[in-house]
Amino acid sequence: MRPEERIARPIALAAGYVLLVQAVITAVEIISRKLFNHSFQGVDELGGYALAVTAAVGFGYAAVTRAHTRIDLLIRHLPVMPRAVLHIFAALVMFGVASGMLWFGIRTLRQSIRLGSAATTPLQTPLWIPQSLWVAGLALFALVTLVVVLRCVTLFARGAFTAVDAEMKAQSAEQQELEAAGFSVGTQGGPR
């Protein structure tokens, strides 16, 4: 397991548990509203924060596991060197998107801190709290994509075009199912 995966996996797992807890709380709140005509204040607000933070974390984990959507109809028919060039271009674009998201996230967080912004909800949550977690998730995404870019460029510079292809190649459905079951899979689809 690569270092960035060792970091991203437990964080993504924790984010999944946060969503699970939020789903249970939301279900209890819905039942309480229907049966007892009582609503817990702030459940929807906390759900929004949980979704924003876990999505940001999920972006980074998807980059580590090569789970972002890819259209590989043309690229798989190219020779390995042009494929490696296109993979590096894709990694650079993903890093650019991640960096842009992080930059706007930091800008939003700084503005919330400067203005002392709070949510206009019953909880009146100081916005710097959920935004800090959100920005941390975006920072993970940017860091992971930077590592991917650096690894691919290093491999390319060594002439290891097949290694760049293996690094960036989308996983098959079989590989994704094996990983979901807890197996570590190689680039050829078999457990390793």
**Every domain of the chain and the residues it spans:** 3-180
Per DSSP, 116 falls in state: T
**What pLDDT was estimated at residue 170?**
65
Q: Given the structure tokens 């190219």, which residue do they identify?
A: 78
- Residues 136-165 have a mean pLDDT of 93
Is the confidence at residue 133, as pLDDT, over 90? yes
- Residues 30-59 have a mean pLDDT of 89
Report the interhelical angle of 43-64 vs 128-157 (nearest 10°): 10
Closest Cα to residue 22, out of 41, 55, 49, 60? Answer: 49
- Residues 39-48 have a mean pLDDT of 85
What is the distance between the alpha carbons of residues 148 and 96, in angstroms, rounded to a whole number? 12
If DSSP codes are grouped into helix, strand and coil, which group holds residue 102?
helix
> What percentage of the chain exceeds 90 in pLDDT?
49
Average pLDDT taken over every residue of the chain: 86
pTM: 0.80
**Residue-wise DSSP of 56-91:** HHHHHHHHHTT-S----TTGGGS-HHHHHHHHHHHH
**What pLDDT was estimated at residue 128?**
95
Q: pLDDT digits over 101-125, tens only?
A: 999 999 999 999 999 999 888 889 9
What is the torsional sign of CA 45, 47, 52, 57?
A: positive
**What pLDDT was estimated at residue 129?**
95
Is the confidence at residue 190, as pLDDT, over 80? no
What is the distance between the alpha carbons of residues 159 and 53, in angstroms, rounded to a whole number? 38
Distance, C-alpha 99 to centroid of its chain: 13
